[in-house]
Structure 1
Amino acid sequence: MKHFTIFASRNDIDDIENTISDVFVKGYEIKRNEHDYFLKSKGLFSKHKVTIRVASEDTNPDYFATNIPGMMGFYDRIPFEDENLKGLVMTQISVLNTMLAIETEKDITDAQMQLFTGLLSRVGGIGFLPNGILLDQAGEVIVYPDGTSGPSNFRPHACTRKVLGPELTSEEGEQRKNRTIAFLSERGIPFIHGLPQLPPLEQCQFKTKEDIARRAVSLLIVIQFACDVAQGEDIHGSRDFFTGMLQKFGVEQDLTENERKLLQDEEPVMEEAVNISWQYEAYWALIWALGLVDTLDFPDRVCDCEYAIEVVSSCETFEQFLLKTSMRSKEQMMDEADRIYRLHWACVNSRIQGEEAPAGMNESIVMERRRGLFWIIGHRDEEWDHISMDT
């Protein structure tokens, strides 16, 4: 086998040269000609030559227009034993816009394959072998040519450009992005310049103070029920009590679909309860926006749950709670949203590399903070249960 191809969904290929250099610099001399890279091993007795040809929808649109439909047809004909996995694979192929075609002079060695899968991990795509085997970005098999599932727990990834179209930029967005990058640089947290800007203020659909307050109160109450479920408490007694609390504050109509389901299920699903209990961190972002928390501390430790409960439990009515609040500026909320967005990228990048999140961050805290902040600014006008976590 002399060929290995990496496909990915990426906003751009600006960092590909540095990525190839990082992966191969120890063992190979690297020369570049436009989007082609020519690698020659540094060994004295055994010379190996490798060519890597890089293409994207921008540099070679005809290739993708012709070959992506062909690739979809190939995998559509494979009799997957897991139809859900087939759907995930087809979804991934549909958003591919970047290719790294690797060709070796001789059959690929085990050492070379380790380097190639390392490059796959860095690029963040899927690996295609000539026999039809698909690999995930960790090098695990997604599916074999006969349709048998591999060990990979595969989930598709689409860059924001494929989801939203070309990035819309603004001077305001660039300044905000640069401030965040300076914050990350000071703390030694990795980042990429290619992660898109968030939209300028006038393009966001900010929630009102009352919207945020209602979301905060209803969420906190459901979180308490979720915690009881997760801890094996009396479900029926807990449900009756917290349903009464929702009615007391007049926020029972402000529950999301997932929250309502958890509260109404005769036997709530433990995993769903745990997921909602983590939303304490999203709630913390809400009460920060309402001026009830002084600062959003670095996401390396959980919020103060006792205080989080007290800001609502000390009130007798929703109106009394609302009177305690004072909205932060839109600029402050956008700055925090941009910061958590780029911190989330750093967490995901480290996870892909098999490393701990940088600077002691907890990715679950980061994700829930992002949920709260992105909902507040109205990013893409997404609903609470469906805030996208793409990076």
Structure 2
Amino acid sequence: MICTLYSHQIGFEKIVETIQSTYPKAAVEISTQAESQTAEVEIKGGFLSSGSKFTIQYRQREEPSYQIPDTDNCSLTGNLRGLYGYVDSLPSKNEKIKTLFLRKIETLNSEFSISQEKGQTKDLKELIQKLAADFDAVLFVQPKTIISKSDGQHFLDRNLDLLLDTDGHCDVESLEVKINSIYYDKQPAEITEQQKKWKADSEKILEERAVKINKYLPFIEAEEEVELRTPQEIATRICILAMTNLVAFSSISNEEAAAYLQNYNLWDFVTPDEKDFLANPTEQKKSSESWKCECIWVLMYALNKIEDLGFPDVLCSLNDIPEQDYPVGPHKDPNDFINSNFNARSKDEILALNDLYYRLDWACVDARINGEEMTEVHPGVVYERHYALNWLINYGGADWDDVTCDT
């Protein structure tokens, strides 16, 4: 083994994407075990060079946080407790850095080890350096490797500078401890029976549909941790999406859409990306924006204007929404729709759906990383619906343009 990287950030897919961009011709084989995921990377040799192979094994905490609770039985959490004790026992010639290092260990959520299995992989040091920087990682390094800075086992910072060795040596003057805002001041909580039910129900649906299941995926947030968007917020977003969608399908011009939104006092709710689209709706932008049909479909479902969301193996049809229920159109004031009395769906219903699409999206990403065709569901439909659901539950507190679909 060359080294093990530890990070506050999580994301095996991000690691795989970095591997693929660094070695576009390599054969990357992904496997998933009970608590870990592995990328096996094989690079063929040339006429005058031999081939090589390296692996990256990844695991993350079941409940990412910014501290290490004593009650968490996750195997990685247990390992982090041991890591904290080991570092705490080491001598140090820079107590300030050691204190920061111990604080950083408390925030760690993921671990991925890198091993050279065969030959010598070109640019592997550069890959490690990029992963360390991208993940703001600390590294536990073996001696006599391509990145070693000491004769014994030792730790490096994100810049591959010596952070601490067994003799207490340290070559850095500072160490940042960054905490994702979604974890800050969030006290570790026990998983609720409702969260367990959402996960179990989702996995049952996936199993029935022959969709790959990752048992290692954590639970989504508990109901008491989530504040849904209000019906008025949802309705306003539907109206704006409906107008940009009409432009995407060339049903109206961008000027007409902008004038409509301005005339009905909705322009202030149009996002920067949407204003950019309406200012210059190229064919490429139209193609991307047309996918927002699926977002409209989800949001209309959230307001109980659609009875059945349907499984994401086919595209939705907005034509199935009764004309009287659709919020925009000639001589229609969208504010009538926005100010309606909605019988919106419950938080439990929305979170159950969010759990399902979270797991469906993981399966789609996994298939894409492995170069496999996803036939059980439509990946584009899954992504757009997951996007809308994450916005509905205020995932990460993100505005519409900034929603992420982490898996």
TM-score, scaled relative to structure 1: 0.60
- Amino acid of the structure 2 residue aligned with 1:362: H
2:219 aligns with 197
Deviation at 1:252, TM superposition (A): 2.2
Deviation at 1:238, TM superposition (A): 1.0
8 Å CA contact 1:346–1:358 kept in 2: the answer is: no
Residue number among 345, 348, 355 corresponding to 1:328 in the alignment: 345
What is the root-mean-square deviation in Å for CA atoms of aligned residues?
4.2
CA–CA separation in structure 2 for the residues paired with 1:52 and 1:131:
12
2:397 aligns with 381
Residue number among 195, 204, 212 corresponding to 1:182 in the alignment: 204
CA–CA separation in structure 1 for the residues paired with 2:244 and 2:319:
15
CA–CA separation in structure 2 for the residues paired with 1:162 and 1:345:
21
Residue number among 233, 239, 249 corresponding to 1:227 in the alignment: 249
Residue number among 351, 357, 360 corresponding to 2:374 in the alignment: 357
1:139 aligns with none
1:245 aligns with 260
Residue number among 288, 308, 315 corresponding to 1:295 in the alignment: 308
Residue number among 286, 298, 301 corresponding to 1:285 in the alignment: 298
Give 1 or 2: higher helix fraction. 1
2:360 aligns with 343
2:33 aligns with 15
Instruction: Describe the shift of the 1:244–1:296 C-alpha distance in structure 2 as closer, same or farther (beyond 3 A).
Output: same
Name which of structure 1's ranges 381-390 and 325-334 shifts more when overlaid on structure 2.
325-334
CA–CA separation in structure 2 for the residues paired with 1:52 and 1:377:
33
Instruction: Describe the shift of the 1:103–1:208 C-alpha distance in structure 2 as closer, same or farther (beyond 3 A).
Output: closer
CA–CA separation in structure 1 for the residues paired with 2:370 and 2:87:
31
8 Å CA contact 2:32–2:214 kept in 1: the answer is: no
Gap runs ≥5 in structure 2: 13-30, 41-53, 61-75, 89-106, 130-145, 147-178
SS at match of 1:132: helix
- Amino acid of the structure 2 residue aligned with 1:343: L
Instruction: Describe the shift of the 1:180–1:55 C-alpha distance in structure 2 as closer, same or farther (beyond 3 A).
Output: closer
8 Å CA contact 2:36–2:57 kept in 1: the answer is: no
1:271 aligns with 2:269: no
CA–CA separation in structure 1 for the residues paired with 2:360 and 2:196:
17
CA–CA separation in structure 2 for the residues paired with 1:261 and 1:64:
53
Deviation at 1:386, TM superposition (A): 0.9
CA–CA separation in structure 2 for the residues paired with 1:353 and 1:64:
37
CA–CA separation in structure 2 for the residues paired with 1:183 and 1:202:
25
Q: Report how many aligned residue pairs link the two structures.
A: 282
CA–CA separation in structure 1 for the residues paired with 2:332 and 2:55:
70
SS at match of 2:113: strand
Gap runs ≥5 in structure 1: 24-49, 67-93, 114-127, 137-144, 146-160
TM-score, scaled relative to structure 2: 0.58
